[in-house]
């Protein structure tokens, strides 16, 4: 259905990843990618949100529903 459910992070800042997971529950996957992609964390050049966006994109491209 194109909606995000049961988002789980492995690693990252527990407070932020839990908040992102709660906020995106039921959210449209493509809209989430547009919102999260490219958000940096300090000088790392990426972030938990950016990595989630990349994972969602990969799942959308492969047709994965999990």
Q: Strand runs (DSSP E) across the chain, as ranges?
A: none
Give the Cα separation of 35 and 27 in Å (integer).
11
| pLDDT, position 1 | 85
| pLDDT, position 65 | 65
Closest of 13, 43, 48 to residue 32, by C-alpha: 48
As a whole number, mean pLDDT of residues 3-15 equals: 95
As a whole number, mean pLDDT of residues 9-29 equals: 96
Q: Regarding predicted confidence, which is higher, 52 or 63?
A: 52
């Amino acid at each position: 259905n194109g909606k995000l459910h049961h988002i789980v992070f492995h690693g990252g800042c527990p407070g932020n990843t839990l908040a992102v997971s709660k906020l995106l529950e039921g959210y449209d996957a493509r809209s989430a990618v547009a919102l999260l992609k490219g958000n940096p964390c300090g000088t790392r050049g990426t972030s938990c949100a950016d990595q989630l966006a990349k994972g969602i994109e990969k799942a959308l491209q492969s047709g994965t529903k999990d």
